[in-house]
Amino acid sequence: MLQESEKSTGTGYTTTVAFLLVAFVFSPAVLIVSRPLGYVSVSLAIACSVLCILLAWVNWKRASRISIPSIASSDSGTK
């Protein structure tokens, strides 16, 4: 079990995966379904995808700095 003083890594990568799904799945799918009217809609889809990829990269960097709690307890004595 984790000690109360140790930090949990949480679900920091969930947001990263969500951004990548929007960038590589949702944005192109909306573009295909909406039948683009020209360069404006294609440009908006590309800009949305690039923005989501950048946000995923920033989130990945932030989440990867979270340390994983050690298995060994920090107390030298036993309870």
- CA pair distance 20, 27, nearest whole angstrom: 10
The one-letter amino acid at 79? K
Q: Has residue 5 been placed in a domain?
A: no
Q: Has residue 45 been placed in a domain?
A: yes
Residues 27, 19, 56: CA angle, nearest 5 degrees: 130
- Domain span at 49: 13-62
Q: For residue 33, what pLDDT is reported?
A: 84
Per residue in 15-31, pLDDT tens?
889 999 999 999 888 88
Q: Has residue 78 been placed in a domain?
A: no
Mean pLDDT taken over the chain: 77
pTM of the full structure: 0.66
Q: 10 Å Cβ neighbour count for 19? A: 21
- CA pair distance 64, 23, nearest whole angstrom: 20
- C-alpha distances (whole Å) from 36 to each of 23, 27, 40, 50, 68 are 17, 12, 8, 18, 45
Q: For residue 13, what pLDDT is reported?
A: 79
Q: Has residue 25 been placed in a domain?
A: yes
Q: Has residue 22 been placed in a domain?
A: yes
How many domains does the chain fold into?
Answer: 1
Which pLDDT band, with edges at 50, 70 and 90, does 56 fall under?
A: very high
